[in-house]
Structure 1
Amino acid sequence: MKRKPPASPFELQRKAAQRAALNALKRARRSAEKAGVSLSDWEGEFLGSVEERIKTHGRAFGDPEKGAPGQALSTMQGRKLKEITAKAKGEDPRPRWARKRPE
């Protein structure tokens, strides 16, 4: 019986990133349902389409300039996922580009 060669560290890291991204998407959707927070149509579609692309292609973005090579989500997708998770937890959204005002 032939043994498979050991997987490369890069391949193991990529698979771990895929699992972590899928788990984060499931947690965000589950916490929103549990808290009774209604996600907008766009947010629900975003979670579903990103999950489908990760399962199909291994990552949710096609342009390598938009994210790190071993990651499953681009930086903007990660930011939107954090915003959806914060909304599900009932936290106030952080201002994106607001300057600190002097007191």
Structure 2
Amino acid sequence: MAFKSKTPGKGLRRKSELKTKAPLQPRSGMQAKAPATRTPTSPADEKKALQKRTLRALERAKKAAADAGIDLSEWETEFIDSVSDRVKTYGRAFADPDKGAMNGTLSLMQGVKLREIRQKVKSRAAKPTDDEN
């Protein structure tokens, strides 16, 4: 064995105690804040917060395309609108538990498509067009 001690029963020991240079003194005028306590949230509150985050992400994707002057395809626009409607109506955008997390609002593929749309907008916005010159 690689980590066997030569003297059995004797563990690692420190020769001297750990010491600090000087004891820590509180500074005058500075008071430590009490740690922020989080109020316990119910699963219903967490679910509503997740729905709001999802709706904001969908709206941000649509707004980013509009701000960058990029036209989304008809399918992409319809996708964002229909997913938003389903999240608002049902609290989630898919019904089959095999397609995503039970507590999630988007299925795995819907999340992938949303990321692809945002990446498309980001990449096209970064490229200058020849018409601008």
Residue from 79, 83, 86 that aligns with 2:112: 79
Which structure has more relative contact order (CA 8 Å, sep 6+)? It is 1
In structure 2, what is the Cα distance between the partners aligned to 1:68 and 1:75?
Answer: 8
Larger Rg: 2
Structure 1's unaligned 5+ residue stretches are 1-6, 92-103
- Offset, 1:9: 2.7
Structure 2's unaligned 5+ residue stretches are 1-39, 125-133
Q: Number of residues paired by the alignment?
A: 85
- Maintained 8 Å contact 1:67/1:74: yes
Question: What residue number does 1:53 align with?
Answer: 86
Question: What residue number does 2:25 align with?
Answer: none
Question: What residue number does 1:68 align with?
Answer: 101
- Offset, 1:8: 6.4
Residue from 1, 4, 9 that aligns with 2:42: 9
Structure (1/2) with the larger helix percentage: 1
For the aligned residue pairs, the C-alpha RMSD in angstroms reads: 1.5
- Maintained 8 Å contact 1:66/1:74: yes
Question: What TM-score do the two structures reach when normalised by structure 2?
Answer: 0.60
In structure 2, what is the Cα distance between the partners aligned to 1:62 and 1:84?
Answer: 23
Could you list the per-position Cα deviations for residues 9-30 of structure 1 after superposition, in whole angstroms to 9, with x for gaps in the alignment?
A: 3212211110111000000000
* Identical positions, percent: 49
In structure 1, what is the Cα distance between the partners aligned to 2:86 and 2:111?
Answer: 14
Residue from 40, 64, 71 that aligns with 2:73: 40
In structure 2, what is the Cα distance between the partners aligned to 1:77 and 1:48?
Answer: 12
